[in-house]
Amino acid sequence: MYACGTRAFDQDSFEIRLLQRERRIVRYSTERSGGERRSKQTTPPPTPLKKPLEVLNSIKQLTHHENIYTIPNILTFSRLIVAPICGYLVLHDQHAWAVALFAYAGITDMVDGWIARKWKLQTVVGTVIDPMADKTLMTILTVCLAIKGGLPIWLATIILGRDIALAISAIYWRWVSLPPPKTFSRYWDFSLPSAEVHPTTISKYNTALQLGLIGATTALPLISWDLGVAMTGFQYLVATTTIWSGMSYIYTKDAVKIVNQQSVAQKEIERRSEPGPEPKKKQ
């Protein structure tokens, strides 16, 4: 009787321990699965790394390209083409044709600016190539007229020295203000605005005086009057304004302005979003 009771007690205790063990196993497995779920919920998935090409493409998309194929810019580029032709005609004593091309350059210089302001076609590249076209024509004719003896060497040296200094500074500012990545192909991509050049007041007067002097010197062989004294005074005046205008770019803070890409993009969006002229109603 005692033995049977002992065996029954042992069996009951064994079953109790077995149940406790099963409960511990179930509780452990539940806690483990719950921890895995929590870790899966809290741990964010790893972000894949972008390839270098994708990064460069995203940078190029953020950089704004402006439309450079406008009528004012085309007229300005035509002046760049006319400049060497005009110099060739001066060297070969074809002064009548040279004066005609010089007049074309002067007229287009006024017309392209008027068109750009009238129809809001101003571009950053236009602020760069417009004075570049003027200086290219000025440089070529200055050299050719000095070779032919129409301009004194000292005046040609002053004019060319100022233009070379401004050209070097323009190259520097273009590279410094170019949006990244800075590559050779992007440097010569003029649809990428980087810096605006604002001519000073004295520089505008100097450009007009230089063009007047070069035009008068080119047309002088076609005139039978003796204008030696007047031309000498004109030359000294141009030499003074040339030196003055060169110094003004150094001391004027707003002569060169770095372009904000976001502001350029915003201006382009506003220009394109402007409503066009209303169509006329048919009567």
The closest alpha carbon to 197, from 274, 241, 131, 104, belongs to 131
Total domains in the chain come to: 1
Omega of the bond leading into 181 within 30 degrees of 0 (cis): yes
Task: List Cα–Cα distances, 202 to 107, 206, 244, 252, in angstroms.
Answer: 21, 6, 7, 11
pTM over 0.75: no
With respect to residue 16, please indicate whether it lies within any of the assigned structural domains. no
With respect to residue 218, please indicate whether it lies within any of the assigned structural domains. yes
Q: Which residues pair with 195 in a beta bridge?
A: 258
With respect to residue 50, please indicate whether it lies within any of the assigned structural domains. no
Tell me the C-alpha distance between 148 and 169, whole Å: 30
With respect to residue 45, please indicate whether it lies within any of the assigned structural domains. no
Tell me the C-alpha distance between 80 and 132, whole Å: 8
With respect to residue 171, please indicate whether it lies within any of the assigned structural domains. yes
With respect to residue 1, please indicate whether it lies within any of the assigned structural domains. no
Q: pLDDT 10s digit of each residue in the chain, 283 long?
A: 444 444 444 555 656 666 666 666 656 555 555 555 554 455 555 555 555 555 455 545 545 566 778 888 899 999 999 999 999 999 999 999 999 999 999 999 889 888 888 888 888 677 778 888 888 999 999 999 999 999 999 999 999 999 888 888 877 877 777 777 788 777 777 667 667 667 788 988 998 999 899 999 999 999 988 888 999 999 999 999 999 998 988 877 776 676 655 554 555 555 556 555 555 554 4
Q: Which residues pair with 257 in a beta bridge?
A: 196
Find the CATH number of the domain harbouring 230: 1.20.120
The residue range of the domain holding 65 is 61-273
